[in-house]
Amino acid sequence: MNTRLLMTLQVKVATPQNIGAVAHAARRTAPLSGGTFEGPRLRGTVLPGGSADWQLLRADGVLEMDLRATLRTSDGGLISMKSFGLRHGPPDVIGAIGRGELVDPATYYFRTTPRFETSHSAYLFLNRLITVATGDRRPEGPIYTIYEVL
Amino acid sequence: MTSRPLMRLKLETSATEVIGSTARGTLSIWPIVGGSFDGDRLHGDVLAGGGDWVTALADGTSELDLRVTLETHDGALIHMTLTGVRDDAHHYFRTLPRFETAAPQYAFLNRLLAVGVGEIGPDGPVHAIEEIL
């Protein structure tokens, strides 16, 4: 698979809202309080309003992530981002992440598939891209390295 | 980004059902009547009854929304969904398949994300699907 770097996105996570046990899983919503993104073709900030990660911890231990964020580029364009992802790993590693410890991202699987929507003429190329990302869950929030699938 | 081949999926479709112009674009349904998939870790047939809901958008691209059931050679059923973009003007046809199964020998499919490269072959759509490592 050929890819190229689209951007690095660093988000800040506010206090999670634990919805709790739902059918076959546990649900948690992690609001995003802000963030930044930077790449060869675009950079800017994450708007805190409607941005959050809606998470479902499945019975098989896999965390399903449904992240939605609004990005504002340095020249004022608004981009809606939706990203489905999966995170799982050895119990001790996932436990360390839960305790807010710094963990080597190579020790667990954290991958997402962002899609973008914008009406800004400079960024229309995003509308037609499939992308994949690797995640690195830092104590203050995840860092996503997002690649365009060529 | 590293990946490894998961399967090559060939689909057999019947006549397209054109729903027509909707609020989002022009919706066509491609019924899937069969097919096959083949990879190092799994192979088998595509069951009839699935389909691909394809919406042609105003920017010239099409959004894919496919659902199909796969049956492995050893009798396991795998629910597969796929979203994707087809942009013929830029020769870009890329997809994001997902899998769900209850079969223990294929439980690894529940835990992975994948990317597909699609093409419309002479006998129907073909998707080369790779696991994202």
Interface subset of B 57-76, CB within 8 angstroms of A: 59, 61
* Cα–Cα dist A116/A123, whole Å: 10
Position A49 confidence tier, pLDDT thresholds 50, 70, 90: confident
CA distance B90 to chain A (A): 10
CA distance A41 to chain B (A): 19
Share of chain A above pLDDT 70, in %: 100
**A3-149 belongs to which CATH class?**
mainly beta
Q: Does position A70 have pLDDT exceeding 90, yes or no?
A: yes
Output the CA torsion sign for A118, A35, A53, B67: positive
Position B119 confidence tier, pLDDT thresholds 50, 70, 90: very high
Contacts of A113 in chain B (CB under 8 A): 96, 113, 115
Average pLDDT score over residue span A120-145: 96
Share of chain A above pLDDT 90, in %: 89
| Strand residues in A1-104 grouped as ranges (E) | 3-13, 17-22, 25-38, 43-58, 63-73, 78-88
CB contact under 8 A, B115 and A85: no
pLDDT tens figures, B100-112:
999 999 999 999 9
pLDDT tens figures, A75-117:
999 999 999 999 999 999 999 999 999 999 999 999 999 999 9
Contacts of A3 in chain B (CB under 8 A): 1
Domains in chain B (CATH in brackets) are 3-132 (2.40.160.20)
Global ipTM: 0.87
User: To 5 degrees, how large is the angle CA B19–CA B20–CA B25?
Assistant: 115
A86 and B CB contact within 8 Å? yes
Token pair 């088998």: residue: B44
Q: Domain residue spans in chain A? A: 3-149
CB contact under 8 A, A127 and B110: no
pLDDT tens figures, B34-82:
999 999 999 999 999 999 999 999 999 999 999 999 999 999 999 999 9
pLDDT at position A50: 80
Which of B59, B95, B111 minimises the CB distance to A62? B111
CA distance A135 to chain B (A): 12
pLDDT at position B92: 97
* Cα–Cα dist A99/A129, whole Å: 35
Q: Does position B117 have pLDDT exceeding 90, yes or no?
A: yes
pLDDT at position A74: 97
pLDDT tens figures, A102-112:
999 999 999 99
Token pair 């948690």: residue: A28
A8 and B CB contact within 8 Å? no
* Cα–Cα dist A116/A132, whole Å: 12
pTM of the full structure:
0.92
Q: Does position A24 have pLDDT exceeding 90, yes or no?
A: no
CA distance A47 to chain B (A): 26
